Structure 1
């Protein structure tokens, strides 16, 4: 199964990204701190979505529901933040075909699973009421698990050849790596 192989083959880079992100999330003490975290996601995921859109139709019937940029933008605006520029292409993974796009989407869709826990943590740290300003990290709400299962099922149907699977895995790994590098760059800049 591709989804199981993807999880195994991206594990180390996924963990490296989490090690860069988790301390930032735990250190959120004010809305401005939270906005900075959202800005990282907005710039990176917004840039990724733009690149994914250039490859054309992905045969994901619910792709329009899987967009992240708008939810992040709504959260930033609700906190009186300003939307940052999107991550420049040279800091994003190569996405020139549908397989690479699916690898990048694997990373973005996977973020919804951890987002459930992150949203609870942030809500507690900032006393955010009724999930306000947490639409991105709340993912699909009660539908998060079923949306993840649906995405993995789509991957299994769309990517069957070993060479295609390798390309999806490589793109997912590059997406994790480039996101961590972006976080590191913004932390030092």
Structure 2
């Protein structure tokens, strides 16, 4: 569903894709900021992906904004599931960043910041996230965490189905 790795990807198609992702990421980050998540997750460091999308979109051909409702996260366990999806995407973003540089000439400074994510700190941030998940102690809440992740995956899937291949 992620057309970003297609060799035929154009700047216009990439900009449309980012708008669809923004339609999920922006309201999702806003919702996550309304919840009190455990300190070990470093939310202040992690919930900065929507501004990266805005920066990228400013460097690309104009596309109309897309507004989508965030997944209905009932509480902290569901929010951690959503955060798992956002953080996991940063790992794949490292591969996408190299592809964008080769095929579209995009860099983290010009149009490729969102997928670049934490850059060289991505591995360390992912490891810290995993450690926080293990320490948080989701005993009895596993189904809710998984449910939050599933809702978030569905929201991204719904958004990506709107992007023409």
Normalized against structure 2, the TM-score is what?
A: 0.87
Aligned residue for 1:182? 159
User: What pairs with 1:137-176 in structure 2 (closer than 5 Å)?
Assistant: 137-161=115-139, 163-176=140-153
Q: 1-side partners of 2:7 and 2:16: how far apart?
A: 11
- Which stretch of the first structure deviates more once superposed, 63-72 or 175-184? 175-184
Paired residue for 2:28? 48
Q: 75-84 or 109-118: which moved more?
A: 75-84
Matches within 5 A, 1:1-150: 20-21=1-2, 23-26=3-6, 28-60=8-40, 62-67=42-47, 68-81=49-62, 84-88=65-69, 92-128=70-106, 131-150=109-128
- Distance, in Å, in 2 between the alignment partners of 1:105 and 1:143 is 17
- Note the C-alpha offset of 1:26: 1.0
CA distance in 2, matches of 1:82, 1:58: 36
**Where in structure 1 do 4 or more consecutive aligned residues deviate above 4 Å?**
none
Question: Does the 8 A contact of 1:43 with 1:87 survive in 2?
Answer: yes
Number of aligned residue pairs: give it.
Answer: 163
How high is the TM-score relative to the length of structure 1? 0.77
5+ long unaligned stretches in structure 2: none
TM-superposition CA deviations, 1:149-182 (whole Å, max 9, x none)? 0001111111331x21221011111211221122
Instruction: Confirm or deny: 8 A CA contact 1:25 1:37 kept in the other structure.
Output: no
Relative to total residues, which structure has the larger helix share, 1 or 2?
A: 1
- Rate the CA distance shift 1:83–1:148 in 2: closer, same or farther, 3 A: farther
Instruction: Name structure 1 gaps, 5 residues minimum.
Output: 1-19
